Homo-oligomer: A and B are copies of this chain.
Amino acid sequence: MGTDNSPVPDVEGAVLAAREMTATGDTIVLIGEQSAIQVELKKHDVSGLALEVIHSPQTVTMHDKPSQVHRTKPESSMAQGLDLVKQGKADAFVSLGNTGAVLALATLGSLRRIPGVKRPAITTFLKVKDRMIIFCDLGANADARPEWLVQFGIMGSIYAESVLGYQTPTVGVLSNGEEEGKGNELVRAAAALMSEESRLKFIGNIEPKELIAGKADVVVADGFVGNIALKSMEALGDYLFGLMKSKVLESSSLLVKIGAVLMRPALREVYREVDPFEIGGAPLLGVNGVVITGHGRSNAKAVKNAIGQAKRAAQSGVIAKLQATFAGGEDA
């Protein structure tokens, strides 16, 4: 029930995923308002697909306060989905809804943190020349401590290795300058800790242009800075695409309009390369189970890809590796 247009892309994405995954023995469980889901399912050919529906009487919206959802909506589809993972009845949970609510429900209510992990992180993938960069935290922790950033780097590395298949992933910290000593107090302290951390291949400060250029495989920031950086990029991208469109539409020149039509294949390629739907979803790192969250704007392709990411994460055994890595660490 999570996308802005739910349950339309949610159900279609699940059907698309089921067409690929039923053959490999996977079942996709749709949790939400049963009648609405059934209406959508009827639009597709679902014969032979391993799709189940679980009715949920409550839906978490973007307006729900994350910290209160476990009390105000105890029987939400989110809570039910996370419980399935906790009980071992599902291998992963995917949500395109309120990420803060998923995080709150997962950490406070059901899955909880992996023992030894001090704070979970919300991540995203950035696609750089067909390679994925893991970028976190996007807002789980608006204020962070240096050692949390170190753990984000370790968790990101393990995920990059286990799920994305990278060998010795490189890790950087987002900063306002690449030189050592740049950054605010938090970044300088975190960089000092990371450079001494044997479980990390730390390559230092990463500026936004280096983040986009893919200089590091994993880039960490506190949740406030990570969120602002990502939203600044999204905002400028939307602005530029919008401006370009409006300049063509407003143009009185027929040649400009013809030019825009002729250029369309190249523009489509540009868009394909920055297409956020290509990726679909990214993990909540540090919760004790595979949880993949994606953007509310997601279309069916994005939903399908988020489910694919969930499957790869579940199969990789990344949670067990994270548990082993942090076992014995302090918990606060």
Contacts and interface: CB of A to CB of B under 8 A. Distances in A.
A274 B266 CA distance: 22
Contact of A228 (B208, B240, B262): B208
Contacts of A225: 224-225, 228
A228 B231 contact: no
B244 A265 contact: no
Interface in A90-142: 139, 142
A243 interface: yes
A259 B263 contact: yes
A222 interface: yes
Nearest to A188: B142
Contacts of A139: 176
A240 B243 CA distance: 13
Given A209-B235, A259-B259, A263-B256, A185 B143 contact: yes
Contacts of A230: 232
Contact of A229 (B228, B256, B264): B228
Contacts of A275: none
Nearest to A227: B176
Of A139, A176, A243, chain B has the most CB atoms within 10 Å of the CB of A176
B224 A208 contact: no
Contacts of A274: 240, 243
Nearest to A222: B184
Contact of A208 (B174, B232, B244, B259): B232
Interface stretch (A51-59, A246-254, A300-308): A246-254
A238 interface: yes
Contact of A248 (B183, B208, B235, B266): B266
Interface in A64-114: none
Contacts of A256: 262-263, 265-266
A239 interface: yes
Contacts of A251: 265-266
B183 A209 contact: no
Contacts of A236: 208, 212, 232-233, 236-237
Contacts of A231: 176, 207-209
A332 interface: no
Nearest to A142: B184
